[in-house]
Amino acid sequence: MRILHTMIRVTDLDKAIDFYTNIFGMKLLRKNDFPEGKFTLAFVGYGDEKTNAVIELTHNWDTHSYELGNAFGHIAIAVADAYKACADISAKGGNVVRPAGPMKHGGSVIAFVKDPDGYMIELIQTS
* 69, part of any domain: no
Has 122 been annotated as catalytic? yes
Domain range spanning residue 112?
Answer: 75-125
Regions of the chain short of the pLDDT cut 70: none
pLDDT in tens, 59-71: 999 999 999 888 8
pLDDT at site 107? 83
Annotated active-site residue in 36, 56, 67, 122? 122
* 15, part of any domain: yes
Identify residue 76 by its one-letter amino acid code: A
CATH number (domain holding residue 101): 3.30.720.110
Domain count within the chain: 2
CATH number (domain holding residue 41): 3.10.180.10
* 67, part of any domain: no
Give the list of residues 6+ apart from residue 89 with CB closer than 8 angstroms, or none.
Answer: 23, 24, 96, 113
Kindly report the number of other CB atoms within 10 A of residue 36's CB atom: 6
CB of 27 within 8 A of CB of 21? yes
Nearest-angstrom CA–CA distance, 23 and 90? 9
